Structure formats: C-alpha cells, structure tokens
Copies of this chain bind each other. A is one copy, B any other.
Amino acid sequence: MSVFTPVTRRSLEPFLARYHVGSLVNFHGISEGVENTNYFVDTSDGQFVLTLFERLNYDQLPYFLGLMDHLHQRGVPTPAPRRARDGALSQPLLGKPAALVDRIPGIGVADASARQCAAVGEALARLHTDGQGFDGHRPPDRSSDWWQATAEALRPQLETDECELLDDELAFQAGVDRSHLPSGVIHADLFRDNALFAGEQLSGLIDWYYACNDRFIYDLAVAVNDWCVDEHWAPRADHWTQLLAAYAAVRPFTDAERVVWSAELRASALRFWLSRLYDRCFPRGGDLTLIKDPTPQRRRLERWRAGEALPLP
C-alpha cells in the first residue's frame, strides 16, 4: 500500500454516522496507491471505498469529488461519491479530509488485451468531451515547473547518465510549442491499475486525485505509455491502434495534436520517471510503503526519444 494513516473502528464509526450508509461491518486497508490512504468499507447498506487525503487540503477536494459526481451522472464509468447528511462530499477523519465513494466491482489490468485498450480509449474520450460541462478548474500539479523543481532536488542523488538524460529531455521539452492544443478536464494518471474491469466490462476509472485542466493529448499519452507497450516497453501495434481508434471515434484529433504526439509521450514517461525517482530518493514513512521501480519509465522515455512511437491515426 500505502496505509499512511491507520484507521480504527472507534474513529470510523462516528465518521460513517455522518452519512446515510448504515452501520460499520468490516473494513480493510487497500495496499495500492502511493498518494493516499484507502480502505474498503463494508456496512449494513453496501460496499464503499474510503479515501483519506494525505497531501490535499479541503479546498482542493470539491474539484475531484465534484468532477467524479459530474462524470458519474453523465454515464462515464466512475465511482459515485456519497454526500454526507450535511450535503458535503467530504468529512474530516483523524484530522484529514476524507471521502466515501461506492465500491466498483472488478479488478485492474496486469496485461491488457487490445479489446480492453479500446474500452479505455473510448472512456477517456468520453471523459474529455463530457468533462467540458464541468465548471471546476484546477491547474496541473505535475507541469514543467514541477519537472524543473523535482529535477533540482534529485540531481545530487542521481547517477551521471541519469542526470544527462534528464537534462537533455528537459531542454527538449522546453522547446515544444503547446500553445494550440485542445484542453479541458483530464485524468492525468490513467494507468492499468486505475481502470477496473468486471469480466469484459470496463466498470470504472478510479483514482481521480491527479485530475486537472490540461492538454487532452497529454492524458492520452499517459494512457498509451502504460497500456500499449509490451514487457520490454516497445509499442504493441494492435493495442496502440485500437486504443487510439476508439478514442478518435468519439473525439477526432487535431493537426496540432499530431505534431506534438511523440513529444507528449516523452513528457508522460518523463513525468512518471521523475516522480518514481523522487519516491526512491525521498521515501515517505507509513505502516506499509510501496516503492515503484523508476526503470520502466526510463526505458519508455528512451524508446520514445529513439523515435519508436507509432503515429496518431
């Protein structure tokens, strides 16, 4: 996991009493996710996921929870956040903001099929189009400013070859023109862990806590970077084609998006390489802490730099 904040029955029962969800039966930490503390919670009325926000303030939550509510109402597969008796979508628990959402059936995807890729491409495009009516706005927290600041903090701890790759990529990215790209609400973290399938059915996109307003094509690059590569991080043509075709059937690409596609793939690999390097160099405490290996993101970055990406359809 990471369970950063251990929850007890004594703390959870009064929290649940603030919702219309029945009484506590059982709960258990979920050992996934590296940002927040998550628990499965079973009550007499149903099954829920409880999230304690470890790094977010209350004023950021209305964006995430309001967005999930907005998308759920429009049929984009997302968990529905529950409103407390006072009408709010979050409540404090152990001094942290916390939310309760319906638990979606299904499991993540270890090794995607082309068909699953198509389902994810379609859902992502629907998020981008149906998100247009959402009136919240949140700037990206993993933008180029964050890349620079993180690179600064990491440099003293990196190997020479890591520093060279990083500096060269940052210089390249600084020269990319992103001024005419369609943007709006994006998920920003649509890895295979964050799409649940119940059998063949995409039951929900989860873990919305990087969502922000940014370039659609970057969001797509994050997904392709994870869903459409093989175990050596080389492109899988059938997956790549099906994800992008299903996406484009809902929202066709612009010419400006075609121009930056390869640069956006590099940007997505760079972003996750940086955050995993950071977590390796500066691990956080916790009862159980999950550290993800940075190497696979570096390998992807190297492939996209070598021109191995497939084009947009």
In the complex, the chain B residue whose C-beta lies closest to that of A42 is: B199
The distance in angstroms between the C-alpha atoms of A119 and B109, with both chains bound, is 34
- A306 an interface residue at 8 Å Cβ cutoff? no
Are B107 and A26 in contact, with the CB atoms below 8 A?
Answer: yes
- A218 an interface residue at 8 Å Cβ cutoff? no
- A29 an interface residue at 8 Å Cβ cutoff? yes
- A116 an interface residue at 8 Å Cβ cutoff? yes
Q: Which of A54-62, A70-78, A287-295 contacts B (4 or more CB under 8 A)?
A: A287-295
Q: Which of A9, A28, A109, A288 has the most CB of B within 10 A?
A: A28
Set of chain B residues within 8 Å of A199, measured between Cβ atoms: 25-26, 42
In the complex, the chain B residue whose C-beta lies closest to that of A286 is: B293
Tell me whether chain A's interface is mostly helix, strand or loop, or mixed.
Answer: mixed
- A179 an interface residue at 8 Å Cβ cutoff? no
**Which range contains the number of A residues in contact with the other chain?**
35 or more
Each complex incorporates copies of this chain amounting to 2
Take A6-B231, A231-B8 as given contacts and tell me if A28 and B109 are in contact as well, using a CB distance cutoff of 8 Å. yes
The distance in angstroms between the C-alpha atoms of A186 and B261, with both chains bound, is 57
- A141 an interface residue at 8 Å Cβ cutoff? no
Set of chain B residues within 8 Å of A162, measured between Cβ atoms: none
Are A31 and B32 in contact, with the CB atoms below 8 A?
Answer: yes
Report the minimum CB–CB distance from A101 to chain B (whole Å).
Answer: 16
The distance in angstroms between the C-alpha atoms of A8 and B192, with both chains bound, is 14
- A152 an interface residue at 8 Å Cβ cutoff? no
Chain A residues close to B by CB (< 8 Å): 1, 6-9, 12, 25-29, 31-32, 39-40, 42, 107-111, 113, 116, 192-193, 197-200, 231, 287-293
